[in-house]
Structure 1
């Protein structure tokens, strides 16, 4: 079993504090604040933004693997994620994740591509970890 590490540190209170997240190998390191998570600040990241990046990365890689299982080699799979943070029962809740993916996979037709997209949505490990999210959608476009 492969072990991955990450860490986060938060200092001070909720609204006047700040934090930093980083991956175990140091490849990702970012600051975050109350404003970057719940407000309009574009300075810093948020846990939800990082979840979106993880989901997009996992989905793209998994879709590529599924294509490979069909003896197809993607030129590329590019996925973007929108993660919506709302509120339920007085607390924050990830209400919806929208994945938008575009791929160029020579030798595949759109029906087979859409089938693989649905399999990737259901099967990628991050999708499985996010099963509690009420709504996850995928809009997929096959480029020629």
Structure 2
């Protein structure tokens, strides 16, 4: 399976800008620039897209792990916070912090903790990131 996206950039790094689009159409000509990445201009940036991918991937991986053990989650609410920091002459993504709030009927805390660890290790986005990954997971009683 191959998934595709496209970026088009015009101009210099600081003053230029671009758009990103995805094959599915979820993003179509979405703007990004220095200002959307390092300031607060409307648009997106690579770190935000990675955070969205990580949150989505982790929640789906967790859902499959739960399903495999005959649990059906009511809700898996995942936030991802990706950190970019200076490194040498450039930058690097150093961390992705996941926060999970899970509502899963009849699931005990020990089993939940084991499943969270499995999801973190087996999420394809976690596997591709060369960054520290943390997961703050809470099982909410239903």
Task: Give the TM-score of the pair, scaled to structure 1.
Answer: 0.93
Residue of structure 2 in register with 1:52 after alignment: 51
Confirm or deny that 1:11 pairs with 2:7: no
Matched residue SS, 1:126: helix
1 CA distance for matches of 2:41 and 2:109?
37
RMSD, aligned α-carbons: 0.9
Residue of structure 1 in register with 2:37 after alignment: 37
Which aligned segments of 4 or more residues in structure 1 are displaced greater than 2 angstroms?
Answer: none
How does 1:128-139 map onto structure 2 within 5 Å? 128-130=127-129, 132-133=130-131, 135-139=132-136
Task: Give the TM-score of the pair, scaled to structure 2.
Answer: 0.95
Matched residue SS, 1:50: helix
Q: How many residues align?
A: 140
1 CA distance for matches of 2:31 and 2:120?
29
Unaligned runs of 5+ in 2: none
2 CA distance for matches of 1:80 and 1:6?
23
Matched residue SS, 1:37: helix
Q: Deviations over 1:4-26 (max 9, x none)?
A: 11111111110111111111121
Unaligned runs of 5+ in 1: none
How does 1:1-144 map onto structure 2 within 5 Å? 2-29=1-28, 30-38=30-38, 40-130=39-129, 132-133=130-131, 135-144=132-141
Q: Deviations over 1:49-86 (max 9, x none)?
A: 00000000000000010001101111111100111110
2 CA distance for matches of 1:117 and 1:31?
34
